[in-house]
Amino acid sequence: MVRRLSLYSKTRIALLDSSGARQKDILADLQSNGISVTRRTVRLFLKKYKQTGSYADKPRSDRRSKFPPYLNGLIHDLYENDDELTSRDIALILDNIFGLEVAESTIRRRRLKLGWVATGPAYCQMIRDANKQKRLDFCLDAQRRGKPSTLSFSPTSAAFNWTSTGS
């Protein structure tokens, strides 16, 4: 993970270098002030600073996303309504409704940014066909009586669902 140097760190490195300090001394000074950097970071910054004479970073790309931001809400709503959708399902929906061809990897990144994570059942016991009706009756009876129960009955056994983390 690349972490940019703060303006204070850059100024401190440049001042120490101009006063004749060696790179390992600069590193020790920064670390004694609670600034966590590597020797390589100091070396690369000094090399760039001596070439350009500036603290500024290189210009960044201003490329805009092809994915319209208003579709974030749509994706969130789709997962709210059906938490078993896949990125391929979402891609097909976007193509059918908006004529937008979006890569599945883009949808997976957006899904993660929206706070949706895959969750699987903690434990899902298989129920024999002969006991399915009895299990359903038991769950409905417990629900009618208002007894909190950790037991549930689902006609489908999905491998995982998408749940929102609330962000």
pLDDT of residue 15: 92
pLDDT of residue 130: 83
Torsional sign, CA 15, 19, 23, 28: negative
pLDDT of residue 121: 67
Low-confidence residues in the chain, pLDDT < 70? 1-3, 121-122, 124, 147-167
The partner residues of 119 in beta bridges, in order of sequence, read: 161
pLDDT of residue 100: 87
Q: Are 37 and 30 in contact (CB under 8 A)?
A: yes
pLDDT of residue 166: 62
pLDDT of residue 158: 47
**CA dist., res. 152 & res. 146, Å (int):** 14
pLDDT of residue 95: 92
Q: Are 72 and 110 in contact (CB under 8 A)?
A: yes
Q: Residue with structure tokens 């949808």?
A: 107
